[in-house]
Amino acid sequence: MRRTRNLIVTAAALGILGGSVLVAKGLLADSGTGGSGGGALAGVFQEEPKASATPTGPTPEELAAIERAKRVKALDAALKKYATGKPEFSVAVFDRKTGETYAYRGDEKYETASVVKVQVLACLLLTAQDDDRKLTSSEKALADKMIRYSDNDATTSLYGKVGKIGGLTACNKRLGLTQTKVSGSWGLTRTTVKDQVVLLSQLVDEKSELSEASREYAHKLMSTVASDQDWGVPAAAQEGEDATVKNGWLQRSTESNLWIINTVGQITDDDTDVSIAVLSHTNSTMPAGQSLVEKVAKLTRTHLKY
């Protein structure tokens, strides 16, 4: 009977609730409908479940997993309710302190608009590292314009410098992006929120292919964007926390002149270390899209309690 009970507790602890899966350290929590957004539950019962520390209840680890599953279920419900009648959106949150990723419609692909500029910056830094050199003054000036002011001409110049489709695709592969397809028109690159939080995590991970100096430089640019572009992810930050961001916005003639509105960034302090990506399209106006992505980011904080 003990083995049966532990299997049941373990299944509950993994958060098989309301169509959501939350698995720590390597498996992925993913929710929502559409496309291939459902999470996989591969190999969950490959190991014999371990006995509880006491015969009267689950271990502290099992209790923590159950609590996380409750938070995921609550966030699923909140996002699904908010999504009713709203433009399509996806969101992912990677928590470095727990190693867990939450994703809602995580495999849905969206055009990046200007959030692709983070990929271009990362590739520029990798290219310089490969050549065992620092960025030139010209490259720094272009990178500053690209990230802090979202300058398109600067981006086009650096996109060519890193090798356009082939170069950026190769860099993405090194950084662990598997669901991103680079476009010759860089702003039409297609990606997922899952890939975006992978990229963001590479900007802070000590094991990243990006050096410490490169990571610090990326942080410097993304934490000092122009005031008119300081929206999106930072809306979920609390007073005293550090927030980085790169936003993307594009009115698409192919979608009845509706708006792509995207935001990616990080929130950190002594107790918090998360990467967040919200991608959306078919927004009626830019301000409406900004409100949507900020609301979604805030909902993740409310329910995941990071």
Q: What is the tens place of the pLDDT at every residue in 139-159?
A: 999 999 999 999 999 999 999
Strands 29-31 and 100-104: parallel
pTM equals 0.82
- Mean pLDDT computed over 150-170: 98
User: What was the pLDDT predicted at 53?
Assistant: 53
User: What was the pLDDT predicted at 30?
Assistant: 53
pLDDT category of residue 43 using cuts at 50, 70 and 90? very low
- Mean pLDDT computed over 68-95: 98
- Mean pLDDT computed over 59-79: 95
- Which residue shows structure tokens 């990046």? 112
**Hey, CA dihedral for 290, 178, 92, 87, is it positive or negative?**
positive
State the maximum Cα–Cα separation within the chain, in Å, rounded to a whole number.
69
116-130 vs 137-148: helix crossing angle, rounded to 10: 160
pLDDT category of residue 55 using cuts at 50, 70 and 90? low
CB 235 within 8 A of CB 201: no
Instruction: Answer yes or no: is pLDDT of 73 > 90.
Output: yes
User: What was the pLDDT predicted at 301?
Assistant: 98
Residue with the larger pLDDT of the pair 253 and 10: 253
CB 204 within 8 A of CB 122: no
Instruction: Answer yes or no: is pLDDT of 224 > 90.
Output: yes
Give the number of other Cβ atoms within 10 Å of residue 15's Cβ: 23
181, β-bridge pairs: 190
User: What was the pLDDT predicted at 21?
Assistant: 37
CB 219 within 8 A of CB 203: yes
Strands 89-95 and 273-283: antiparallel
User: What was the pLDDT predicted at 56?
Assistant: 77
Instruction: Answer yes or no: is pLDDT of 44 > 50.
Output: no
CB 189 within 8 A of CB 119: yes
Instruction: Answer yes or no: is pLDDT of 7 > 60.
Output: no
